[in-house]
Amino acid sequence: MFHSILVPIDVEHESTYAPVLPVAIKLAQDHGAVLHLLAVVQPVGSAFVSSFFPEDFELKLSEQVKSKLAQVATESDFGGIEPVLHLAQGSIYEEILLAASSLSVDLIVIAAGRPEQGSFLLGSNAAQVVRHADASVLVVRNQPS
Ligand code: ADP
């Protein structure tokens, strides 16, 4: 019985979250679980690198990711479930693990990775989540085309 489900969403790659959402939604419906969606914004990096970007670059990026996440939540069919949206900034897998722990989720549903990275069995963030999460992790594999 799952009470709280976390779906990390890479808003840039619909091909990763499109196959995952129906699985997570069905599980949330069947278990009466809360469904959390999380998008992580990665910082630009070093002060030297960020000096090449406009000052408000990170703020604008966060706003764009937030609005894209809201779009995903409104455009997908959640079958009556109201997802709880979260935005975090930092290392992707670390923020997924932190959110999973602070939200006390008991299941993380994650894509194996981008289909175009086909030769890799598991993306680098998905691998770290599987390795380190306290919660159960369901890895949704890309369907062969
Ligand atoms: P790949 O390198 O093939 O993109 P990843 O391991 O990075 O593989 O991605 C697998 C999954 O990790 C994604 O489907 C998503 O669930 C999660 N993920 C990746 N990037 C982000 C992000 N910026 N925010 C939230 N989750 C992410």
Residues 51-106 have pLDDT tens digits of 787 778 888 999 999 999 999 999 988 999 999 999 999 999 999 999 999 999 99
* Mean pLDDT of the region 115-123: 74
- The whole-angstrom separation of Cα 13 and Cα 65 is 12
Measured at the alpha carbon of residue 70, what is the angle toward residues 77 and 79, in degrees to the nearest 5?
Answer: 20
* Mean pLDDT of the region 23-49: 92
0.85 exceeded by pTM: yes
Q: What is the mean pLDDT of the chain?
A: 92
pLDDT at residue 145 in the model: 52
Cβ proximity of 115 and 142 under 8 Å: yes
- The whole-angstrom separation of Cα 13 and Cα 111 is 11
pLDDT band with cut points at 50, 70 and 90 for residue 13: very high
pLDDT at residue 138 in the model: 98
pLDDT at residue 134 in the model: 97
Pairing of strands 136-140, 107-111: parallel
Cβ proximity of 27 and 57 under 8 Å: no
Please tell me the residue having the least CA distance from ligand 1 atom 9.
Answer: 113
Please tell me the residue having the least CA distance from ligand 1 atom 21.
Answer: 10
The alpha carbon dihedral of 93, 94, 99, 104 has a sign of: positive
- The whole-angstrom separation of Cα 92 and Cα 81 is 25
Which token pair is 40? 């992580």
Backbone angles phi, psi at 62, to 5 degrees: -60, -40
Backbone angles phi, psi at 135, to 5 degrees: -75, 165
- Which DSSP letter does residue 115 get? G
Ligand 1 neighbours by CB, cut-off 6 Å: 8-10, 16, 38-40, 92, 110-111, 113-114, 117, 123-126
